[in-house]
Amino acid sequence: MQPTSHANHAATHHEHEHHELGFLQKYVFSTDHKVIGVQYAITALIFLFIGYSLMAMMRWQLAYPNQPIPLVGGLLEAALGQVAAEGKMSGDLYNAFGAMHGTIMVFLGIVPLAFAAFGNFVVPLQIGAPDMTFPRVNMASYQSFFVGGVIMLVSFFIPGGAAQAGWTSYSPLATVTPTAGQTWWIIGMVFLITSSLLGAVNFIATIIQLRAPGMTWMRLPFFVWAQFVTAFLLLLAFPPLEAAAVMQLMDKVAGTSFFLPTGLLISEKVAEISGGGSPLLWQHLFWFLGHPEVYVLILPAMGIVCEVLCNNSRKPIWGYKSLVYSSFAIGFLSFIVWAHHMYLTGMGTAISTFFQTTTMIISIPSVIILTVFFISLWGGSIRFNTPMLFTLAFLPMFGIGGLTGLPLGFNFSDIHLHDTYYVIGHFHYVVAPGTIFGLFAGIYYWFPKATGRMMSEFWGKVHFWLSLIFMNAIFMPMFHQGMGGMLRRMSDGGVNYSLAQNSDALGAMSDSLIKSNVHVSHAAWALGLAQIPFIINFFVSMWRGRKVTSDNPWDATTLEWQTPTPPPHGNFAKPITVHRGPYEYSVPGQKLDFTPQNQA
């Protein structure tokens, strides 16, 4: 309601607004979609760094259990107190860092970067719109995201520390943990959910309403389609989590028992609660968001991959409609696969059967998308620049992530693999060398549009090769560890279960499995170092990079390259009309090997 009226207000307001904007209005409280996109990008990159840093510290604990963390141990103790006594990572701290690594990476890192940042910057440009439909709502979305992020960060420093029950926050564990971290987590999530909802409404409305004349649905670049489906996922999947968050909050502060069963024991005493609640209910509601969320993480990256791939293979996409319909199929199916995360909860074999079936079906459109990309490379004259390298690496990396998911989708194999490092390996292949590589491709690709300067190719390639090597060195051994029985969320890296220490422990593991923790950790730190070339390249290029000589440095076809560089407020210098599809590369009979969409 309010947002709508604000937007109308904004629109009429702008008519009279030809004076220069001050710094605050231009960069902080901006309603320009490009500025908001950049705000999202920078904030999200910072959160990615924080999420990584948490994991870098946890990896020390996994490799060298209960030894003081070098460099930062003292700092941790000073900041957080008892949980980091003597600079060592306690179990509580490990749990908090683990939960917040997941939360921050997913909700404050990848989603804001993939959906909000790239979507905001690129979508209006690609459809030929002057801005988003509701610019004020757009600003509110970023602000809500920012507040949610701050709440999450502050929660590290409250007494008892941040949430400790994993990013999935399963009740009763999350409810009965005697600290306030979980309450902060819930409130932070409500802000993040609000932000996503506002963003989703805005994206969908923009794509439906503000396409330039001639931009028919089947002329939309695939990136726009990907964001469109993503927005629907956010719009419809997040509210159930919000409902669940409200109920968990009631359980925490109003003494209700939504997720607490009758006869619940806390520290071996029967809890004084009304009972009658259902722990499974939380899991259902969480995964009703949780599964669509993984497609929120991957679809925008696929969109970027499509843009970069066509541009650098100088070929039209092979199977445009297959891409579009597949992403719709994914969008729809992702709402009916959620309980494949719950095979081991005892929800029953009939339900499991249903969800195994849908899970296998949803893998089909994913495979179609990947196949379309591979076939599109066939016979292209490929330019191996940095964005293209990341794009090309995305394909096999996402492939590994996807294929290793199949055994998790079957009841019988999941019994063995559930909650092990195999799962960690699987979904990180999807989101880390998968999505993140897609996002890097996007950053290198659109950087010149945003800044008017190119990023360094040499340092880009250094960044790429090192990242590729270390990503695999981190996540490949995890499959092995998981299949050998190493569970996730163990604060000692499994030494308690080592054959050497405890030869008759149930599920004892060989020492070589536990030893690989050390290699993985070293690779994880090396991955961090490998980002230094990127960070330096990013900032140095912003001020001193090679200036672009044209508005369309990659010889691309889509509309974002037809604006001035960087695009001014309102985007297009003159009204734009679209005459052709998004990927008309190397069209026979044309003078150039690319034909922009607005060329008559």
Closest distance to ligand HEM from the beta carbon of 489 (Å): 4
Helix (H, G, I), strand (E, B) or coil at 508: coil
Query: Do 182 and 165 touch, CB atoms closer than 8 A?
Result: yes
CB neighbour list of residue 487: distance below 8 Å, 6 or more residues apart = 419, 420, 421, 494
Find tokens 């932070």 and name the residue.
188
Helix (H, G, I), strand (E, B) or coil at 404: coil
Within residues 260-319, the interface with ligand HEM by CB under 6 A covers 297
According to CB under 8 A, which one of 102, 239, 396, 566 is a site residue for another protein? 239
CB neighbour list of residue 461: distance below 8 Å, 6 or more residues apart = 386, 389
Helix (H, G, I), strand (E, B) or coil at 317: coil
Query: Do 299 and 326 touch, CB atoms closer than 8 A?
Result: no
Within residues 487-516, the interface with ligand HEM by CB under 6 A covers 488-489
Query: Do 201 and 141 touch, CB atoms closer than 8 A?
Result: no
Q: How far is CA 303 from the centre of its chain?
A: 14
Helix (H, G, I), strand (E, B) or coil at 568: coil
DSSP 179: S
* Nearer to another protein (CB atom), residue 164 or residue 230: 230
| 397 interface partner picked from Cu ion, another protein, ligand HEM, none, CB below 5 to 8 A per type | none
| 106 interface partner picked from another protein, Cu ion, ligand HEM, none, CB below 5 to 8 A per type | ligand HEM
The CA-based angle 12-13-16, given to 5 degrees, is 105
Q: What DSSP assignment string belongs to 69-108? A: PTTTHHHHHHHHGGGGGGG---HHHHHHHHHHHHHIIIII
Establish if 47 lies at the interface with another protein (CB under 8 A). no
Distance spanning both ends of the chain, measured CA to CA? 41
Establish if 136 lies at the interface with Cu ion (CB under 5 A). no
Separation between Cα atoms, residue 30 and residue 595, nearest integer Å = 34
The mark string for 108-147 relative to another protein (x by CB under 8 A, - otherwise) is ----------------------xx-xxx-x----------
Establish if 424 lies at the interface with ligand HEM (CB under 6 A). yes
Establish if 291 lies at the interface with Cu ion (CB under 5 A). yes
Query: Do 223 and 303 touch, CB atoms closer than 8 A?
Result: yes
DSSP 315: S
- Whether omega before 588 lies within 30 degrees of 0, making that bond cis, reads no
* Nearer to Cu ion (CB atom), residue 92 or residue 293: 293
* Nearer to ligand HEM (CB atom), residue 373 or residue 470: 470
| 99 interface partner picked from ligand HEM, Cu ion, another protein, none, CB below 5 to 8 A per type | ligand HEM
Establish if 577 lies at the interface with another protein (CB under 8 A). no
* Nearer to another protein (CB atom), residue 243 or residue 529: 243
Closest distance to another protein from the beta carbon of 214 (Å): 12
Q: List b or e across 12-31, with b for residues whose CB sees 16 or more CB atoms inside 10 angstroms.
A: eeeeeeeeeeeeeeeeeebb
Establish if 20 lies at the interface with another protein (CB under 8 A). no
DSSP bridge partners of 270: 265
Phi, psi of 599 (to 5 degrees): -80, 130
Separation between Cα atoms, residue 129 and residue 172, nearest integer Å = 48
According to CB under 6 A, which one of 118, 134, 156, 167 is a site residue for ligand HEM? 167
According to CB under 6 A, which one of 38, 63, 89, 106 is a site residue for ligand HEM? 106
CB neighbour list of residue 509: distance below 8 Å, 6 or more residues apart = 484, 485, 486, 494, 497, 498, 499
Residue type for 19, please?
H
Establish if 200 lies at the interface with another protein (CB under 8 A). yes
The mark string for 435-464 relative to ligand HEM (x by CB under 6 A, - otherwise) is -x----------------------------
| 90 interface partner picked from ligand HEM, another protein, Cu ion, none, CB below 5 to 8 A per type | none
Within residues 1-60, the interface with ligand HEM by CB under 6 A covers 52, 55
Closest distance to ligand HEM from the beta carbon of 592 (Å): 39
Stretch that binds another protein, among 1-9, 533-541, 555-563, 589-597 (CB under 8 A): 1-9
Establish if 276 lies at the interface with another protein (CB under 8 A). yes
> For residue 40, which of 181, 198, 183 has the smallest C-alpha distance?
198
* Nearer to another protein (CB atom), residue 135 or residue 166: 135
> For residue 84, which of 61, 64, 101 has the smallest C-alpha distance?
61
Closest distance to another protein from the beta carbon of 198 (Å): 9
Stretch that binds another protein, among 59-67, 233-241, 315-323, 379-387 (CB under 8 A): 233-241
Site size toward ligand HEM, by CB under 6 A: 22
How many residues comprise the chain? 600
Establish if 98 lies at the interface with ligand HEM (CB under 6 A). yes
Establish if 423 lies at the interface with ligand HEM (CB under 6 A). no
According to CB under 8 A, which one of 262, 510, 550, 590 is a site residue for another protein? 262
Q: List b or e across 411-436, with b for residues whose CB sees 16 or more CB atoms inside 10 angstroms.
A: beebeebbebbbbbbbbbbbbbbbbb
* Nearer to another protein (CB atom), residue 79 or residue 208: 208
* Nearer to another protein (CB atom), residue 262 or residue 381: 262
Binding residues for Cu ion, rule: CB under 5 A, are 291
Binding residues for ligand HEM, rule: CB under 6 A, are 52, 55, 98-99, 101-102, 105-106, 110, 166-168, 297, 424, 428, 431-432, 436, 474, 488-489, 524
Binding residues for another protein, rule: CB under 8 A, are 1-5, 7-8, 11-12, 14-15, 130-131, 133-135, 137, 197, 200-202, 204-205, 208-210, 235-240, 242-244, 246-247, 250, 254-258, 262, 273-278, 281, 284-285, 288, 569-570
